[in-house]
Structure 1
Amino acid sequence: MQKTSARLLSLLSLLQARRDWPGALLAERLDVSARTVRRDVDRLRELGYPIAAVKGPDGGYRLDAGSQLPPLLFDDEQAVALAVALRVAASSGAGVEEAAARALATVRQVLPARLRHRVDALQVTALERPGGARVDGEVLVALSAAVRAGEVLRFDYAGSDGPPRRAEPHHLVAAGGRWYLVAWDLDRADWRTFRADRITPRVPGGPRFAPREVPGGDVAAFVRGRFRGSADGEWPCRGEVLLDLPASAVAAHTGDAVVREVGPGRCRVVAGAWSWVALAASVLRFDADVEVVGPPELAEAFALLARRSADASG
């Protein structure tokens, strides 16, 4: 049988692994009696862990979220993952750089030597993406609270004149170095994607609302579609070309394009963009000969770029 301290750590690890645990199953996993499990649960409660009793035929236990922060238990992989996440927090645009640095110092201090060495070896430099915008952490908290509570959000939106906006907030999304709020705009009766760095919440908010389903049911696909200017998440313009380059030299630089090898040093690329000119320009960044497979609009875009390039060179 494990010593009490080791058994408590094992019990805590099990309670964190799933929502509800029948008491008999915990006793079986720990190889102790149900009475010993009850005593160990009481010891963890004394340490500050909010463990609730689950009613039912078998009875059981659940580790709930509490108002205090008791000692946390992480396995090796979780501890290293937490340290990596804190190192790259500066690139989130959430304004938590200083807090993340303090948290990382706290976590590092309590890590065993073997893990501290692994964390110190991870020298990560997180660069903010061009065009990214910082968001006040309190604004993100307020937006998240409105989403969770299902309450109408009243807010001022930078660059928009007129009275405060009113919207039903549904999701917060981080993309491209920015934070966005996906919401149903009550004044325009349509779905909108608002930049969080331009939002100033107003107090009080509005009443509760019954959540609507985001078009298509997939928030990520909906936001991608808005960024691409289409309702279905696909690029408005999609074409196909042959490039005189190996597929291995092209695939890593074409985003969501489909790249296939068609012969020695030649590949087929099916890609999309906002416009035909943008698609043609994205292909021309490769230092290689190009053959347009289709459609005709893409060939016309290449011709237009050729004329503009000739004029520019003159």
Structure 2
Amino acid sequence: MSGPTSRLLSLLSLLQTARTWSGSELAERLEVTQRTVRRDIDRLRELGYPIEADLGVHGGYRLVAGTSMPPLLLEDDEAVAVALGLRTIAVLGLPELEDAGVRALTKLGQSLPPRLRHRVRTLAASTTTWRSPTGSAADPEVLTVLAAAAANRERVRMDYETRDGRHGPRHVEPRHLVSAHRRWYLVAFDLDRDDWRTFRVDRILEPRATGARARHDLPAPDVSAHLEQGEQALGTTYRADVTLHLPVATARERLRDHLGDGTLAPDGEHTRWRSTEDTPEWLAMRLLLLDCGFTVHGPPALRERLDAIHERTRR
């Protein structure tokens, strides 16, 4: 062993495997005496690790569940697996886990050595999620950069794609990431426009923390109040009322991953679809991907969006 700290970490790594270790086994692995093992076990207990000891011929030491979550030591392959799982949570936007998942991914990403970060990126590039329930996929790398900048109150330079497809540089002070309507948004102060803005994260490219300190505070007690006051709305949402020129069974099959709290009902030979609440852009996209004829009964914003798409494709 190179020193007490290194030995303590090695001991913790052994105990975090799902088995009971005898004192002699630990002493042999660590190349120390059993007395030193007992002393190191006591030090780990003082640090909050719940370690039980069983006496007798078949006794030994094992790490058990405690009342709080102590720090974990992960092997390289375990760290990569956890990082990939957290990336999946971030992309899927699971309501119960999305915020915690991004925070955990940010912390883990800052701790991973470059060789493991490269492994995570390589494996992530080789996998995909089919029929994701999210409206658009946010890049986990982008999410972690923005989350870290918001936590550190640090300014960011990035490239942003506007709704009409134009790209341009932006200089912002990230404040908070918000998940809404199957998308991630960044609430930030736009230094070039001298005002607060909400950016869709899936349209943010190559964010780079500058190291400069963010200096603007939200004009509200918290992010929720800021958004609720309408100062930076995430976009007006609607429920589509559409007759799909499909039988109900076929419509249900094509919409099964996107029906949400929407409803399907027979409408003669066709199907009346009252959708889950979402933006006109997403509703229009969902309709076009159904690959069928349809009649839009409302809202007007959906008709306007479809007309704009038709005009653009006609040109």
Q: Into which bin does the TM-score normalised by the smaller protein fall?
A: 0.3 to 0.5
TM-score by structure 2 length?
A: 0.43
